[in-house]
Amino acid sequence: MSFKFGKTSLERLSTCHQDLVDIMNLAIQVSSVDFGIAEGHRSVEKQQQYFREDKSKIDGITKLGKHNYHPSLAVDIYPYVNGKAEWDNEHLSYLSGVIEACANILVQQGRIGHRIRWGGNWDMDGAILIDQSFDDRPHFELIKAYS
Would residue 2 count as lying in a domain?
Answer: no
- What is the tally of structural domains in the chain? 1
* CA 95/CA 44 separation, integer angstroms: 28
- Domain assignment present for residue 1? The answer is no
- For residue 69, what is the domain's CATH number? 3.30.1380.10
Task: Note whether residue 62 is domain-resident.
Answer: yes
pLDDT value of position 146? 64
Quick check: is 84 in a domain?
A: yes
- 69: containing domain: 7-144
Q: How does pLDDT run across 83-140, given as a tens digit for each residue? A: 999 999 999 999 999 999 999 999 999 999 999 999 999 999 988 878 878 889 999 9
The predicted model scores a pTM of 0.94
Q: Report yes or no on 36 lying in a domain.
A: yes
Sequence-ordered list of residues with C-beta below 8 angstroms from that of 116, at least 6 positions apart, any chain? 23, 99, 100, 103, 140, 141, 142, 143
